[in-house]
Structure 1
Amino acid sequence: MSVVLEFLLGMAITALLMPMVIKKLKQSKEQAVIRVLGPDHQQKAGTPSLGGAVFVSVAIIVSFCLPRTYENSTAFTTVLTLSVAIGSFALIGAVDDVLKLLKHADDGFAFKPKLASQTLSAVVVMFLLWALKVPAVINLPVVGVVYLGYFYVIFIWFWLVGWSNATNLTDGLDGLLGGLAIIAYGAYAVMAYWAADWAMVSFNLILIGTLVGFLIFNLPKAKIFMGDTGSLALGAGLAVESILLHAVISLLIIGLVFVIETLSVIIQTFSYHFFHKRVFPMAPIHHSFEKFGWSEWQIDIAFWSVGLVLAILAVFIFY
């Protein structure tokens, strides 16, 4: 019953705050810049961004207000690790979003300082995982436990940076990433429940609640975007949860939509750079479906359905 209340609390606070944030951002006249090279979304010009700052902040603050977080050192360190991962990547995304607004351009944070910031965040998360005594291993189907040794440091960096950028690329349509994130964090809430990781269960239910509260204003036609603030944070959080649950490979199934989105960009870039030909009408791949004439609602429902099937499959495979 308590987790239901935690979910409702996260949803209610976010849903109440969002109209005020939207109003404030519109008054500031600093609004999202629509990509020139993307599909024709100019009708969305003037929509405020930085919505991710609301649901990330609410999730972290509410989590640290719960007695469950302080039941023991493991619970506290788990919530702290997730909060640092999500919060630090949200901060990087916020800098990116603010720079875009100030420059009135669709590029904000330069590549090198952005990557350096992500690396620093990954290092801090590594120390927290060490404090939680998370072993430097990954469990592979059929193969079993693989000890990574010093390569574990490289793996953590790759996992956090890779997944944060994968969710960032997926955030291109109203409601798309928000819905997929609810499904993914829901899957890990179930896996955390079976692993008796009550701190993670609570954290996920609160975060899911805040995402639902945000989606009320982000579904087509969106009144606010989450921006890089939210998209980078969500991927980093999923990466850390897969590590804490000792099921990193599960994220390749739960987050397969994010992987496909990322691969479509890599393939498109490689093909165009070397052969001057496009494999897809547009990348990331959700924009290709727009080119095929699909509405944003149709794409959202199709991608959410695939994400839900994959999440259920992963839960059954790993637990």
Structure 2
Amino acid sequence: MTNWLWIILISFIIPVITLPFFVNYLKKHKIGQRIRQEGPDLHQHKMGIPTMGGIIVLLTLLIVIILLVPYNKYILWSLIITVGFGLIGLIDDLIKYFKKRSLGLKASYKLFLQIIFSLIVIFFIYPIGDLGTEIYLPFLKKSLDLGRLFAPFVVLVMISSVNALNLTDGLDGLATGLIFIAMLTFALIAYIQNILPMSLFSLIVAFTCLGFLVYNFFPAQIFLGDVGAFALGGALVSIAIFTKTELFLLIIGGVFAIETLSVILQVTSVKLRKKTIFKMSPIHHHFELCGWPEPKIVIRFWIAGIILAIIGIASI
């Protein structure tokens, strides 16, 4: 456990020390946030704030896990999933930068890359001996064997989780704080299951996010970018896969699910009824346009995340 404490501390310290230098580098090269025209006018002041901070998150995870953590197949594959989705996000961010626009990859291209990568991952992790095709059911204290449906189910969970986190990353510190809460929760779940490598991986990701949050909370000095949001979504779903708790993501990651559902409902309502349900989606923008200050929304969403995390632990 002493080694764990040092590893966790280093995971926190690296982003705290390196991010100021990275922020200055991004400012020097004018690599900043571009605001979507359809986004809220309240965000125009964020134009130019450095983005792609997820690069530091990824580098921290790579350094800590490769240099300090003993080899474990689950940690290795969790890192691969995290980096793989992060690279898709990086491509998206780089297109925004070089094309000087707020949109990077087309949504169809982004989804295609996510599906291909997810299929590659499931092809390799499916045969892992003790992984199996079962998933745990919340509250019922039972498991369900999906058999051949396991692979498409996991691919769906991976893509949904990554995009849900990306949708949530719209306010200063919102996604980062929620990931910190979720990762601590899954660290406890993995510890209860005696899957200690995944517990350690969860704590490394959690405290890397906490170090990033020092500069990401309101008013943010740097944003995750798609590279960070996709990477952290990958990290989150990898832990759920290797602890067989994919369905628990709907509870522990309930805020991410609600954010995604708000977008689905808004789009469906506009197409079918020609009317909106929310002032703007995802739902955190709705509260912004209702006059809530940004930090108030973020902290209340964090509280909701904590409550859902407690429910998730109770449902084991």
Shorter chain as denominator, the TM-score bin is: over 0.9
User: Cα deviations across residues 145-170 of structure 1 (Å, max 9, x unaligned)?
Assistant: 32222221211110100100000000
1:230 equivalent to 2:228? Answer yes
- Partner residue of 2:62? 60
Structure 2 counterpart SS, 1:46: coil
Q: Which moved more, 1:124-133 or 1:93-102?
A: 124-133
Q: Gapped runs of 5+ residues in structure 1?
A: 71-75
- Partner residue of 1:20? 21
Conservation of the 8 A alpha-carbon contact between 2:198 and 2:242: no
- Partner residue of 1:94? 90
Conservation of the 8 A alpha-carbon contact between 1:63 and 1:202: no
Q: TM-score, normalised by structure 2?
A: 0.95
User: Cα deviations across residues 62-107 of structure 1 (Å, max 9, x unaligned)?
Assistant: 01212x423xxxxx11111110111000000011011111122221
CA distance in 2, matches of 1:317, 1:291: 35
CA distance in 1, matches of 2:164, 2:305: 14
CA distance in 1, matches of 2:19, 2:90: 17
Structure 2 counterpart SS, 1:130: coil
Aligned length: 312
CA distance in 1, matches of 2:144, 2:246: 12
Conservation of the 8 A alpha-carbon contact between 1:31 and 1:48: yes
Structure 1 counterpart SS, 2:51: coil
CA distance in 2, matches of 1:104, 1:274: 34
State the Cα distance separating 1:133 from its structure 2 match: 3.4
Structure 1 counterpart SS, 2:147: coil
CA RMSD of aligned residues (A): 1.5
Q: Which moved more, 1:185-194 or 1:29-38?
A: 29-38
CA distance in 2, matches of 1:193, 1:170: 27
Conservation of the 8 A alpha-carbon contact between 2:126 and 2:151: no
Q: Which moved more, 1:153-162 or 1:107-116?
A: 107-116
Write the mapping of 1:144-293 to structure 2, written as runs, cut at 5 A: 144-293=142-291
Pair 132,106 (structure 1): closer, same or farther in 2 beyond 3 Å: farther
1:266 aligned partner, one-letter code: I
State the Cα distance separating 1:125 from its structure 2 match: 2.2
Q: Which moved more, 1:54-63 or 1:87-96?
A: 54-63
1:133 aligned partner, one-letter code: D
CA distance in 2, matches of 1:21, 1:221: 17
Structure 2 counterpart SS, 1:188: helix
- Partner residue of 1:138? 135
Structure 1 counterpart SS, 2:136: strand
Percent identical residues: 38
Conservation of the 8 A alpha-carbon contact between 1:69 and 1:79: no
Conservation of the 8 A alpha-carbon contact between 1:119 and 1:161: yes
State the Cα distance separating 1:114 from its structure 2 match: 1.5
Q: Gapped runs of 5+ residues in structure 2?
A: none
Conservation of the 8 A alpha-carbon contact between 1:59 and 1:203: no
CA distance in 2, matches of 1:226, 1:143: 36
- Partner residue of 1:49? 51
- Partner residue of 2:114? 118
